[in-house]
Amino acid sequence: MKLTVGFYCGLARRLSKETEAEVEVHEGATLRDVCAALAKKFPAFLGQLIVPGTHDLVEPHFFNVNGSRAANLDVTVQEGDRILLMAITAGG
C-alpha cells in the first residue's frame, strides 16, 4: 500500500528537500516499516534521523498518526492514515 508521510520537523525537510514523501509498504506495516521505507528513499536519513539496522527514530523525533502521538514504532498503519514525522521542540 502507498502511504504519505508529512515532514513536520526541520531535519526531515532539510535532508530530503521535501515537505512530504510517498512510501510503499506492505499491508499491516508498522511505523518501523515506514521508517525503513523512508530510509531507503532518503539514505541521508540514516544516522541523523533513523537508526541504521533497528530503524528506530533518533530522539527527539516521533510519529503522529491521525492527530495523536504514536506510542511506539510497532503501531500498525493503514492506507489513508495521516502520518506526520515530527520532533519535540524544546521551550528555550
Partner 1 sequence: MFGYMGKILRVNLTENRITEERLEENIARAFLGGRGLGAKILFDELAPGIDPLSPENKLVVAAGVVTGIPFAGNCRYVIMGKSPLTNIWGETNASGFFGPELRFAGFDAIVFEGKAERPVYLWVHNGEAQLRDASHLWGKVTGETEELIKRELQDDRIRIASIGPGGENLVRYACVLSDFHHANGRTGMGAVMGAKNLKAIAVRGTLKIPLADRDRIAELCKQASKEVWEGAYKDLLHKYGSDGDLDDLHATGRLPTKNFQKCTFEQYENITGETMAETILVRRDPCFACPIACNQVVAAQEPYVVDPAYGGPEYESAAALGSTCMNGDLVAVAKANELCNKYSLDTISTGVTIAFAMECYEKGLLTKADTDGIELTWGNHQAIIQLVEKIAKREGIGDLLAEGVKRAAEKIGRGAEAFAIHIKGQEVPMHEPRGKKGVGLAYATSNRGACHLQAEHDDFFEDPSWLFPEIGLDKTIDRLDMGRDKARMVKILGDFKALYDSLSVCMYASWPEGGVRVQTIKDIVAAATGWDVTLAELMTVGERAFNLCRAFNVREGVSRKDDVLPARLMEPLPEGLYQGQAIPKEQFEQMLDYYYEFRGWDKETGIPTEEKLEELGLGYVTAKLKTSRQSK
List interacting residues with partner 1 (CB under 8 A). 7-11, 13-14, 19, 59-60, 62, 68-69, 71, 84, 86-92
- Other beta carbons within 10 Å of 14: 12
Of 1 and 58, the one with the shorter C-beta distance to partner 1 is 58
Of 2 and 68, the one with the shorter C-beta distance to partner 1 is 68
One-letter amino acid identity for 89? T
Of 80 and 92, the one with the shorter C-beta distance to partner 1 is 92
Reported as type and span, the H/E element at residue 73 is none
Question: What is the SS3 assignment for 40?
Answer: helix
